[in-house]
Chain A
Amino acid sequence: MNFSSIDLIFFIYTFISMYMLFLFLTLYTGNRKEMFGYPKGKPEPISIVMPCYNEGHHIGEAIEALLHLDYPKEMIEIIVVDDKSKDNSVEVIRKYTQKYKNVRLIVNSRNSGGAAEPLNIGIKAAKYDYIAVVDSDSIPDRDSLRKMIGFLQEDKKVGVVTCSILVKKPWNLLQKLQAYEYFIIAFTRRLLDLVDSIYVTPGPLALYRKDVLMKVGLFDTRNMTQDIEMTWNLMAHGYYARMCLDAKVYAASPSTVKSWWKQRIRWNIGGIQTLFKYKKQWFQEMLGMFVMPLFALGMGLGVFGIGLFAYLFFKRIVLSYLATKYSLYASTTILSFGDFTFSASILNFFGVVAFLLGLWFTLFGLAVMQANDIRGKKNIFNLAIYLIVYLIVYPFTFLTAVYQFIRGKYSWR
């Protein structure tokens, strides 16, 4: 054996990556016919809680979308909780409360700085047994609640149902890249659902049982990602999360690199906070046996891969620099034919196979979504940018998040 420690690390990295791919593949092949299925439920009253902060531009459109849901009007109440907005959000909302009886406005007495507190206020004020949480810049598909409610009615142990979160009107490159990301996330989330391992039911649209939310203590106001924390909280209390792939909500996505960067750092910090909060759950039940390791690996593997690549790359740079320096001193050639010749090792083959499998899985996931009319237009250029640039840049947000988390300097907005 001629293995260095770097080789061994690379092998472990490749093994874990391949394992996850094969797990997803196994889950898909055994359940491909049920991927887009959902239990047929009957409409029951739902309170929709929407937190709002400085969303004057979007809130009207969001309320309109809720008012036009394909759901009995008398079974819906919309509670908008304003978190002391500084813009005209309250005026916009008031227009709807005056026009529609089932639209209510609650103005928080202070700006809480996050979504959790307004949500908790709205949940406590809700009349009905089912609570739909919706972001104030999200637009659910008309039939989304109809498709989702059956999961809660079918099984009392289901505490929350999530759906396909898609990018609302992606117009620039960054948003189009996020659109690819969201498709793959939705696809893999459905696969994780098959093993009771959904690790987040995101804010744009999730349907909860009110009694369960009250029982687990509502959303954690100190967490940067209250949706991840709530999902883990439910799991820790023995409840499941379910994913309705066929139900869709269109969420606003960051349109600038700066806002994207900030959002991802918040997500990562929230993830780290949640990992710490539930540290006693490690290796217990599905949460500790799979969800937490998966979540930690999901955050760490990318960084690990980039770190490994950076180490080898910089080592090569240093070697080239020194060799060039010595060659210049010796007044000899600084490049020779031998510098471009290369014998591939077994590790190179494993790396290529792992990369190709990852690429195939991404394309396959997009194809599955497209086949069910969820995906947008094809664009090979955007896809290539997504695979090469976007996924490589992403781990750096985690590194920044870790740095900010250690320094303790972070906030929701």
Chain B
Amino acid sequence: MVNVETGTTVGRVISGEEDAVDLRLHVAAIVRDRRYVQFHTHPGNTSFSDADVAVLLSWDQIQAVGVDGTWYALSRVDGPKTPARKAADAFLSEFNRLRDAHPDLPLRELTHQIWLTIADRLGLRYDRVQRSET
């Protein structure tokens, strides 16, 4: 986790499990009214999940994910904060809809399309940056 204002790393790198990361050491280091970027990996290169947005909206951190040269960034924009529950449900709703409509769409693209569709209405900014093959 990095302090946005100072660029300094906060806490140590946390090694998690296959399906979970315990972020409590980082959460405990959060100082009110300061902004942070929380980085974590997605081994399957998919975009943000329902759990990611729930963490973002619970702790007011910007989250980013970088794996295999693809970076995803999700952050709050100014305005009323969307409840984590509503955002997680919006993700799952769109996930189910897209999966039914495009069963062959790779999960990397499916999850990317979800955020392109729902980020604005949840008051979030979403970006994906892919490594160029040069």
Partners in one complex: no
List residues of chain A with CB under 8 Å of any chain B CB: none
